Amino acid sequence: MKVSKALKMKNKLAGDVAKLKRRFLMSNSKQEGVVYDYDADAVYEELISKTQELIDLKTRINASNTMIQDKIYRISELKGLVELWNGVPTKSGTFPKNYGDGDNVFTSTFSQKDADAKISELEKEIDELQDEIDQHNYTIDL
């Protein structure tokens, strides 16, 4: 199985585990005389089984990613920098105070145009790294 297929399976298993957790919580405490669709013991056993299946698959995926782990980490950190640049204050100029006399004067090291250029540069690198990771995921078997 290719890594790309395994990643899809991982997402499905994670969804299944989340659904089983909710089902377990809902089926554990029952009002007397009311028939419920699910038995808490059976749901919990299925939850444990699916959780182990998810752990095993994540472990196999992780092992297959050792050769690209640096790219995965780099993308994560670059996305953090994009988030930083999206929030950097770029206000410059003179603005009236909300209260009191006088004006507030702001200066910024980076303009919005500078921030946009940095974001564009980071996103280009993210896209290039993602292409390399996608290539890996579509060609490498677990």
pLDDT band at 15 (very low <50, low <70, confident <90, very high): very high
Is 10:57 a contact under the CB 8 Å cutoff?
yes
Domain ranges of the chain: 1-64, 67-142
pLDDT band at 114 (very low <50, low <70, confident <90, very high): very high
State the chain's mean pLDDT as an integer: 94
Q: Where are the beta strands (DSSP E) in the chain?
A: 93-96, 103-106
Provide the residue type at 72 as one letter.
I
Calculate what percentage of the chain has a pLDDT beyond 90: 79
Asked if the model's pLDDT at residue 22 lies above 80, the reply is: yes
Q: What is the pLDDT of residues 28-84, one digit of tens each?
A: 888 888 888 889 999 999 999 999 999 999 999 999 999 999 999 999 999 999 999
Q: State the DSSP string of 41-77.
A: HHHHHHHHHHHHHHHHHHHHHHHHTGGGHHHHHHHHH
